Amino acid sequence: GEFGSATTTFDVAARARALRDVAENPILNQQEVNRVFVLAQYFDYLRRNANTTPDSDYTGYDFWLTKLNQFNGNYNQAEMVKAFITSTEYRQRFGP
């Protein structure tokens, strides 16, 4: 590992390299990008948290995250944005 058998982590450059390794990990990045993207759809289109009424749990969020992951993060193929802007909840809030 970056720190080997070091007993302290005072090496600022080593800490920076370790943080960069985590931040640039492509698998972690894709997993987090998808999570953030789904959450942003709730904030941006529905103006609410993913666990706010009518979804008092994360059922809808989990559905969309699973679907987005099935399409490897391609929200166009997952028809995600289309589903949000044509939803009854969106239309009732913002009009036709």
Q: Locate the domains of the chain by residue range.
A: 12-94
**Does the pLDDT value for residue 23 go beyond 90?**
no
**Does the pLDDT value for residue 47 go beyond 80?**
yes
Helix crossing, 59-70 with 26-41: angle to 10°? 130
Q: Give CA–CA dist 24/63, Å, rounded.
A: 27
Q: Give CA–CA dist 16/14, Å, rounded.
A: 5
25 DSSP 8-state letter: -
Q: Give CA–CA dist 34/61, Å, rounded.
A: 11
Q: Binning pLDDT at 50, 70 and 90, where does residue 15 land?
A: confident
* pTM score, whole prediction: 0.71
